[in-house]
Structure 1
Amino acid sequence: MPDSLPPPRHVFVYGTLRAGGSNDIARFSPAPLRIADGVIAGTLYDLGTYPGAVLGGEGRVQGEIYRITPALEAQLDVLEEIRPDDSGEYIKREVQVPVAGALLSCLVYEIHPDRIAGRAPIASGDWFRRA
């Protein structure tokens, strides 16, 4: 009997991990599979050379959805400074993202609330269209 594989994981990326960004997710190995563009509820903040999203509220954050492996998820956790006690730069969350008329469960890296003090929101919700 073959070993059962874990269900595919998906990640919603909204900043430097987007295609063409300084940390383009396609540079990681194993390479992820791009599923779709997406939008989630939240507010995007400008942290200088990268953004941070706070989930929820009336705002919208633009991003991309990728299918990833556990090995790639582990690399992203290191990049985003995930800590078991949620004290790192980002906190890993699960969100439901509308895709082609259905909801897809995606992990998203939400900025730690302490990191946005005094930072300006990005009105467009799109890191690539920040002004």
Structure 2
Amino acid sequence: MPQPDPTARHVFVYGTLRSGGSNDISRFSPIPQRVGDGEIAGTLFDLGAYPGAVLGGEGRIKGEVYRIAPGLEVQLDVLEEVKPDGSGEYVRRELVVEVAGRSIACLVYEIHPSRIAGRSVIASGDWMARD
């Protein structure tokens, strides 16, 4: 039986990276392992072709948790336009997500606050079920 990769991390995806989304994370390599569904505290904004999450507050955002290898984390940073100085489109954060009774530390990509002005909120917190 293969041993787990000790450098693997987890990511919480809430938008186009979700299963069936336009950037479905399962298309990336190395292929991530789906751990389960989860929710985080935050507000989801509609940016047109994709959403952006602002973390915290009373709202809930629905998403999926995947175990990823370091090489995939680098690819996700590029896709999400993360910049070391925090000026990119998204900022990489880390928070704990409850999945099937387990607490899992996950990367979450939070939209830069400058990108949400005038954007509508997705009240359901579910990008895949938006109207």
Matched residue of 1:67: which SS? strand
In structure 2, what is the Cα distance between the partners aligned to 1:130 and 1:100? 24
Instruction: Give the corresponding residue for 2:19.
Output: 19
Per-residue deviation at 1:44? 0.2
- C-alpha deviation, 1:99, in angstroms: 1.6
Write the distance in 2 (CA, Å) between the matches of 1:59 and 1:51.
Answer: 15
- Tell me whether 1:86 sits opposite 2:65 in the alignment: no
3-state secondary structure, aligned to 2:121: coil
User: Normalising by the residue count of structure 1, what TM-score does the alignment of the two structures yield?
Assistant: 0.94
Asked if 1:60 corresponds to 2:60, the answer is yes
**Counterpart AA for 1:35:** V
Counterpart-to-counterpart distance in 1, 2:24 and 2:101:
27
Distance in 2, Cα, partners of 1:48 & 1:86: 22
Tell me, in whole angstroms, the C-alpha distance in 2 between the residues paired with 1:105 and 1:7.
Answer: 13
C-alpha displacement of 1:21? 0.2
How many pairs are equivalent? 127
Identity rate, percent: 72
- Counterparts of 1:32 and 1:101 in 2: how far apart (Å)? 21
**TM superposition shift of 1:68:** 0.2
Cα distance in 2, alignment partners of residues 101 and 7 from structure 1: 23
Specify every segment of 5 or more residues in structure 2 that has no aligned partner in the other structure, as ranges.
none
For the residue of structure 2 that corresponds to 1:118, the secondary structure is coil
Task: State the 1:101 CA deviation.
Answer: 2.0
One-letter code aligned to 2:59: G
Partner of 2:38: 38
- Matched to 1:111, the amino acid is I
TM-score normalised over the length of structure 2: 0.94
